[in-house]
Amino acid sequence: MKLFANNKTYSEFQFEIEADFEKEIVFNSKLFFGPNSIYIDAKKKIEAKSLGNSIPDGFLFDLSDIENPEFYIVEAELAKHDFYGHIFPQLTKFFGFYKNQKGRTDLVEKIFYHITNESSLKTQFRKYLGEKEIYKFLKDTVENSQKILLIIDGEKKELPEIMETYSDTWGKMVKLIFLKKFSHEEENIYTMHPEFENIEFVDIDNELVSDKESVEYDESYHLGGTSNTVKDIYFDIKKNLLSTCPNIAFNSLKSYISIRATRNVAYFLFSKKKIRLIVMNSEDDTKKAILRHSVKPLSPSVQKFWNGPSCALIIDSEENLDDITAFLKQLISKT
């Protein structure tokens, strides 16, 4: 494959060893993951025993929404590597690590040690945290956001089936990016799909084409691993809406549960301790109606996944749910 730009031909660069691919990611982390990200080169910082004798390539903190930071264990792989002999067992160990409280605590302590002893890292975190405790931030983030980012330089035919078969691990926790490098003399061009800011919505883009109920991805699938508070919030909203809007449906697909009248008006996205409720309404209008919950903007490229003006409500408490249900009833009445 070649790319053509400015009367130049860029040929696809073939990585011979994984270490070179990893270096590209480290060097270009701000370009690939955005200016509000912090990437830690794990192999230079953490001993292998911290993750069950399987050290990942990096740790990524996405701080684009500082109130809802995201944490990723990053694994860079070459598509030519054997899937079941290399990639599958590597990521499987990370699932086990996330389930181990002691392992998570040890990792937080080691990351904290390197941040406090490396001025450049500490400066990056202080930019976002101010005087807040770095250790508490790390602990809370790792506890609440347990994801794996697999970056690979080409298609791997086994991945779709594996992510479908192991839906509670590969399907929920693994986010996939395809990254390629093209070169012309000393100049490089990179292609990346999906864009990192859209990493949470890549599956949703396909689901929006045909929004039908799925037997496989039911409510228990989405609520598995969430706190009791998250479960109570969801069922409280559902109960109150159905009591006055009995004709609406709660449709469960792989990436979300939607509220549907004659069209979809909102989508539930679940994490361990919070619900992100995407509402099909402009940010400005939503803020006028929702005064006691956080309303977050979505970038234009993210909004295109929802086919119209949209924003996100962050719900982490059972307080003031009446505001949300009243607002959702208004959206339903407009369909």
- 227-240 pLDDT tens trace: 999 999 999 999 99
How many CA atoms does the CB half-sphere of 104 hold within 13 Å? 18
* pLDDT recorded at residue 76: 95
Phi/psi region, residue 130 (left: phi>0; alpha: psi -120 to 50; beta: rest), is: left
CATH code of the domain covering residue 268? 3.90.1150
Burial 270-299 (b: 16+ CB within 10 A, else e): bbeebbbbbbbbebeebeebbeebebebbe
**Chain center to CA of 255:** 11
Please say whether the beta carbons of 237 and 229 come within 8 A.
no
Q: Same domain for 193 and 278? A: no
Number of domains forming the structure of the chain: 2
Q: Same domain for 107 and 229? A: no
Show pLDDT as tens, one digit a residue, over the chain (335 residues): 889 988 999 999 999 999 999 999 999 999 999 999 999 998 766 665 555 566 889 999 999 888 889 999 999 999 999 999 989 998 998 888 888 888 888 889 989 998 999 999 999 999 999 999 999 999 999 988 889 999 999 999 999 889 888 888 898 899 999 999 999 998 999 999 888 987 876 655 444 444 444 447 889 989 988 999 999 999 999 999 999 999 999 999 888 899 999 999 999 999 888 899 999 999 999 999 999 888 988 888 778 778 889 999 999 899 989 999 999 999 999 88
Show the domain range for 70. 2-199
Backbone angles phi, psi at 102, to 5 degrees: -65, -40
Q: Same domain for 283 and 155? A: no
Q: Same domain for 255 and 121? A: no
- 109-134 pLDDT tens trace: 989 998 999 999 999 999 999 999 99
Q: Same domain for 161 and 232? A: no
Q: Same domain for 247 and 129? A: no
- Distance, in Å, from the CA atom of 300 to the CA atom of 297, rounded to the nearest integer, reads 9
Q: Are strands 174-184 and 147-152 parallel, antiparallel or unpaired?
A: parallel
